[in-house]
Structure 1
Amino acid sequence: MLIRRVSILAVGIIALGSTIALYKPTLFSHQVIAQTPTRSVTRPNRGKSGGWLKELNLTSQQLQQIKEIRHQSKQQIAQKSQEIRQRQQELHDLIAGTTATKEQVRDKYNQIKLVKRQLADIQFENTLAIREILNPEQRQKFADRMYKKNPRQNPPAQHN
C-alpha cells in the first residue's frame, strides 16, 4: 500500500512538473507578442518609445488592422488562459488528494495539454493574420523579433 501511494505521488509530481514545463513560454508563446495587449507591468525588451511595433514602421492602417486582430481574439485567449489555470488547479488537487486514480490524474493532464494546444492555435492564427498585412521587409523584422531571444544575450552574427 505504501509503494502504491509513493508511486502515485511520484507520477503526480512528474505530471505537475510536466504541466509547469508545458506552461512556460514555448515557440508558440513567442507569437503571443503579436496579440498580447500591453499591460502596465514592465516587460523586458520593450522600449518606452512604442516597443517592437515601431521597429516595423507600420502605417496607421496596418496598426488599426493589428489592433482589430488582437481585439477579435482577446476574449478567446483570456478564456483559454483561465481554463488552463483552472484545470491546473484541479490537477494539483487530484495529485495532492488521496482518492484520484492514476487514470483520473492522467485525464486531467491531457485536458490541460488540449487547452494549451487550442490556445497556441489561436495565437498562431493571429500571427498568420498579422503576417498577411505586412510587407516583405516588415515580415522579416517581425519574424526576427518573434524568434529572437534577449538581444543582449544573443548579439547578431557578424558576417565577414
Structure 2
Amino acid sequence: MLIRRVSILAVAMIALGSTIALAKPTLLSRQVIAQNPTSVTRPNRAKSGGWLKDLNLTSQQLQQIKQIRNQSKQQIAQKSQEIRQGQQELHDLIAGTTSKEQVRDKYNQIKLVKQQLADTQFENTLAIREILNPEQRQKFAERMYKKNSRQNPPPPAQHN
C-alpha cells in the first residue's frame, strides 16, 4: 500500500513538474507577448518607448503590425484561457482519484493547446518579419535573443 502511495505521489510530482516546465514561456511566446501591450507597465519598455520605436517603423509598417496583432488577438486569448483552465483541471485530477490514463489525457490536451498557441505566435513573428527591412529584421532578432538570454541564462558550467 505504501509503495502505491509513493508511486502516485511520484507521478503527480512528475506531471506537475512537466506542466510547470511547459508553462514557462518560450522565446517566441515572449516575443509575441512583447508585441501585445498589457496594462502592466514594463520598466524597460517605458524607458525605451517599446520595441516598435526601437525599429524606426514607418506608419504603414505600424499599421500592418497592428493588423497582424488584431487578427490573432482573440485566438491567442482563447488558447491562453484554455491552457489556464486545463492546468487547473489537471491539478484537480492529480489531487483526486482519477485514473492515470485520464490524467495523462488531460496533460496531452494541455500540451496540444500550448503547441497551437506557440504556432500562432510563431506565425505572427513570421508575418511581422515579412514587413521589416533587413536592418529592422536585424534589430528585431537581436532584441528577441537579447531578451531571451536575460530570462534564460545558460546553465552554469560543470567542473569535473
Alpha-carbon distance in 1 for matches of 2:12, 2:150 = 38
Corresponding position of 2:133: 135
TM-score by length of 1: 0.87
Please give the residue correspondences for 1:59-78 in structure 2 after superposition, counting only pairs within 5 Å: 59-78=58-77
Deviation at 1:149, TM superposition (A): 2.6
Alpha-carbon distance in 2 for matches of 1:152, 1:17 = 23
Alpha-carbon distance in 2 for matches of 1:152, 1:7 = 37
Aligned 8 A contact 1:62 1:134 in 2: yes
Q: 1:50 to 1:22 in 2, by over 3 A?
A: same
Deviation at 1:50, TM superposition (A): 2.3
Q: What CA RMSD, in Å, does the superposition of the two structures yield over aligned residues? A: 1.9
Of the structure 1 ranges 99-108 and 87-96, higher mean CA displacement relative to structure 2 is found in 99-108
Structure 1: gaps of 5 or more residues: 154-160
Where is the helix percentage greater, Structure 1 or Structure 2? 2
TM-score by length of 2: 0.87
Q: 1:147 to 1:111 in 2, by over 3 A?
A: same
The one-letter code sitting in structure 1 at the alignment partner of 2:21 is A
**1:107-139 Cα distance to aligned partner (Å, 9 max, x none):** 111111110000000000000000000000000
What percentage of aligned pairs have identical amino acids?
87
Alpha-carbon distance in 1 for matches of 2:49, 2:22 = 30
Aligned 8 A contact 2:27 2:148 in 1: no
Corresponding position of 1:149: 147
Corresponding position of 2:10: 10
Runs of 4+ in 1 over 6 A off after TM superposition: 150-153
Structure 2: gaps of 5 or more residues: 152-160
Corresponding position of 1:126: 124
The one-letter code sitting in structure 2 at the alignment partner of 1:75 is Q
Q: 1:122 to 1:150 in 2, by over 3 A?
A: closer
Alpha-carbon distance in 1 for matches of 2:60, 2:120 = 23
Aligned 8 A contact 1:31 1:124 in 2: no
Deviation at 1:57, TM superposition (A): 0.3
